[in-house]
Structure 1
Amino acid sequence: MQKNDDVLVRIGERRESLSAKQQKLADFILANYKTAAFQNSTKLARMAGVSGSTVIRFAEELGYDGFPGLQSALHRILQREINTVDMFLSADEAGENGTEEKQGKKGGFFQPCIDSLHKAEKSIDEAQVLQAAELLSRARNVYIVGFQASAFLAEYMSYFLSRIRRNVFRISGWGNSLFPLLPEEGWSEDAALIFTFPRFPAMSYALAQFFHEKGVPLVCVTSIPANRITELSEISIGVDIEYRTYVDHMTPALYVAEAIAKKVAKLSPETSVRQLELFESFTKGTHVFTS
């Protein structure tokens, strides 16, 4: 992360040029940023002892596109350093996960998820998604990596991608799960897809290093555009994930995985149909499903 991308550094550097009320808000955020990140603009203003308009002007003065931009910047700080205990306590202080209480009343049970999808949509580069699909479509072998909170994304992607193309491998670590899959040469003909979100699992980085050293092109799906894995990747897809509580809103990342898989299928329709037919024949013959 560049220095001026750190919201706390930005606040510190510009504090003296702010109005008295904005300085009061700045001091509150600097001292309570873990709690501030989980508030809506109205509640943050009340907690800091300023007006709602001061919060909006403060965000704009710092160069953000209104309060949502400021809140996203605070979330990026939390993604790097906050632990689950901090999140649990901060969410409790915010009153039933801060903005979710109000959103739930406004639009029902799924409103927070809907809002999260709308927000994430603005951050996703469709050209990068298409480039990722093209790489995965033509690769000889595809290795899919994801641990901890990203494990389900890797499982999801492995299952559906393997139904439309061959040689898709879910990598769950070193040893017997990886060694039999390794080719003797031609690594650049393969591709690896890595799902990784803060806090970044060490195994994800270790495998990214391994594939990078072997010359395997990497696709990284993450919420932090600049991290140790994206530095090794040919393609990086940023997904704006909101970290409001100790339970992350991962739905946008799931949809990105779905979008990539669909684009892979459309790029090679004949191969996809043939593989789907083989899948159906296999599941029928082995009684994988039941009525």
Structure 2
Amino acid sequence: MTHALPPKDYEDLIRLIHERHDQMSKTYQRISVFLTQNPNDVAVQSVNAIADRCGIHASSFVRFAQALGYKGFKELQSLFQRRLATAAPGFEARVKALETELHTSGDRNEFGFLSDLVVRDIASLQEMLTDIRQEDLVEAATLLQHAETIYLIGQMRSLPVVELMRYQLTMIGKRCILLDSAGGISTYVARTMTKRDVLMAVSFRFYAKEVVDVVDEAGARGMDVIAISDSTLSPFAKSAKVLFPVPEHDYTFSRSLAAPMCLAQALTISVAARVQQNADAPRIPTVTGT
């Protein structure tokens, strides 16, 4: 997969990785996923540190870069460093401060576990502000606003995200159907979707097979699909009209839902502002007793 003229900026590099991903070896695919999910880490860490995190020998990263036309990994890494240097003002300093706090806390007790999660979540939320594009938020909110019915699917640890969206969208008057796994008929219910509907899918590595199958089939039928996943190289990339990549960082126990939950709420608030014609103070009505 040698590329004679290597990309000169980060965006072109990511575009090339996407174009060639399906033809790459399994090792190169794993490297590609890490690069696209962790651009800030790639910018500041050594190739040996990155390789250790991936469980792949550092020489494979060097060969990967050379296959794309670079002299070595450092030349490829420079694109990630330039991207980080031009990020939102103060972002690099905040990320480094958070990483320092994370690496120096070290307490293996109840409060230490809480501190680790909070620090990692803050870093993920701040990264999301630089990675999520305004035009994608606008397009997704527009699709959800005009959908006759919003179908939602997410399984295992992604389920709370779509459950929250179903509650909030229902409370602002949008018709929603949750494609849950009960009864084993979610795939068949999904086939009742029409071109007037929208499918909202959430899944992270390792991707729930039924969710991937539903998204693939919806995409093949020309349905509008909005997806939240962990990478632009996720199985949703080829079918989603709007894909929100929310990279997941290493957690010792379980990956947090703070960032995808925040994004899901931002989408529903955007829809509420449109439905209520109130951009200043959109609100999700609450359930009150009688």
Q: TM-score, normalised by structure 2?
A: 0.61
Map of 1:100 onto structure 2: 102
Paired with 1:251 and 1:59, the residues of 2 have a C-alpha distance of: 33
Spell out the pairing of 1:1-291 with structure 2 (5 A cutoff). Answer: 1=18, 2=21, 7=31, 26=47, 30=51, 32-34=52-54, 60-64=74-78, 65-66=80-81, 100-102=102-104, 109=115, 110-173=118-181, 175=184, 183=192, 187-269=194-276, 280=287, 283-285=288-290
Q: Is the 8 A contact 1:104 1:112 kept in 2?
A: no
Q: Deviations over 1:134-168 (max 9, x none)?
A: 10110000001111121111111111111112311
Residues 212 and 149 of structure 1, relative CA distance in 2, 3 Å threshold: same
CA distance in 1, matches of 2:34, 2:53: 13
Could you tell me whether the CA contact under 8 Å between 1:187 and 1:214 is conserved in 2?
Answer: no
Counterparts in 2 of 1:181 and 1:229: CA distance versus 1, 3 Å: closer
CA contact (8 A) 2:225 2:242 kept: yes
Counterpart AA for 1:228: P
Q: Is the 8 A contact 2:172 2:284 kept in 1?
A: yes
Q: Is the 1:190–1:216 Cα contact (8 Å) retained in structure 2?
A: yes
Three-state SS of the structure 2 residue aligned to 1:248 is coil
Secondary structure of 1:210's match?
helix
Instruction: For residue 199 of structure 1, report the CA deviation from its aligned partner.
Output: 0.8
More helix by share: 1
Question: Against the structure 1 CA distance between its residues 216 and 115, is the aligned structure 2 distance closer, same or farther, given a 3 Å change threshold?
Answer: same
Q: What is the identity percentage for the equivalent residue pairs of Structure 1 and Structure 2?
A: 17
| Distance change in 2, residues 1:180/1:35 (3 Å) | closer
Residue by residue over 1:76-122, the C-alpha shift from the partner in whole angstroms, topping out at 9 and shown as x without a partner, is: xxxxxxxxxxxxxxxxxxxxx997342688x9923332122112221
Deviation at 1:61, TM superposition (A): 3.4
Give the match for residue 42 of structure 2.
Answer: none
CA distance in 2: counterparts of 1:100 and 1:159, whole angstroms: 34
> 1:116 touches 1:249 (CA, 8 Å); kept in 2?
no
Distance 2:168 2:120 in 1: 27
Coordinate RMSD, CA, aligned = 4.3
Q: Find the aligned partners of 1:226 and 1:9 in 2 and give their Cα distance.
A: 7
Rg (Cα) greater in structure = 1
Structure 2: gaps of 5 or more residues: 1-17, 36-44, 57-71, 85-98
TM-score normalised by the chain length of structure 1: 0.60
Go from structure 1 to structure 2 and tell me whether the alpha carbon gap of 1:111 and 1:168 turns closer, same or farther (over 3 Å shift).
Answer: same
Q: In 2, distance between residues paired with 1:262 and 1:276?
A: 8
How far apart in 2 are the matches of 1:62 and 1:271? Answer: 46
Gaps of 5+ in 1: 12-21, 37-57, 70-96, 286-291
| 2:149–2:175 CA contact under 8 A, matched in 1 | yes
- Code of the residue aligned with 1:201 in structure 2: it is A
Contact 2:179 2:189 in 1 (8 A): no
**Any conservation in 1 of the 2:169–2:175 contact (CA below 8 Å)?**
no
| SS, match of residue 199 in structure 2 | strand
The verdict on how the C-alpha distance between 1:140 and 1:229 changes in structure 2, with shifts beyond 3 A counting, is same
Change beyond 3 A, Cα 1:180–1:220 = closer
| 4+ runs deviating over 6 angstroms | 8-11
Question: How big is the shift at 1:182?
Answer: 6.4
Task: Provide closer, same or farther for how the CA distance between residues 120 and 60 of structure 1 changes in structure 2, counting only shifts above 3 A.
Answer: farther
Distance 1:181-1:27 versus aligned 2 partners, 3 A rule: closer
Q: How far did 1:177 drift?
A: 5.8
